Amino acid sequence: MKKILIINGPNLNLLGNREKTFYGDTTLEKIKSLCVKECIKNEIEMEFFQSNHEGELIEKIHSVENIYDGIIINPAAYTHTSIALLDALRATSKPKIEVHISNIYSREDYRRKSITSEAVNGIICGFGANGYLLAIEAMKKLIYNK
């Protein structure tokens, strides 16, 4: 069975309480639960990871090559600032999908540029928690070549 890593960046542990107009009231724990169900349905194993620390996110990405078949990542604020995450994502040959709960292209100017997207196969944004489920479906097609 294929296995994917779902990575969540800084402040996503505050979902459900944080800026509900942009992020809704769904918690990260609820998103994890939805992802587990979607992965079971799609015959994919998953690990769900969140950190507020850039170095921990980078270390997790470095672990991908020999353990996982793909990455779904919500880099959160690091999307717009982290060349280090971009470099880590570029270092793995596995398929990668970037997810954002809000539509970053309808937000503030500084949020409209995704540095990390240069290293991923595609981006899903603006669909709330459902974006993760769409990413799992897309990842299934990438890793099973369907």
Mind telling me the catalytic residues?
23, 100
Residues 110, 34: Cα–Cα separation, whole Å: 30
Q: Residue 141: what residue type?
A: K
Least Cα distance to 24 among 137, 136, 131 occurs for 131
Chain centroid to Cα 18, Å, comes to 18
Helix (H, G, I), strand (E, B), or coil: what is residue 8?
strand
Distances (CA, A) of 117 to 22, 38, 66, 78, 96: 20, 24, 22, 11, 9
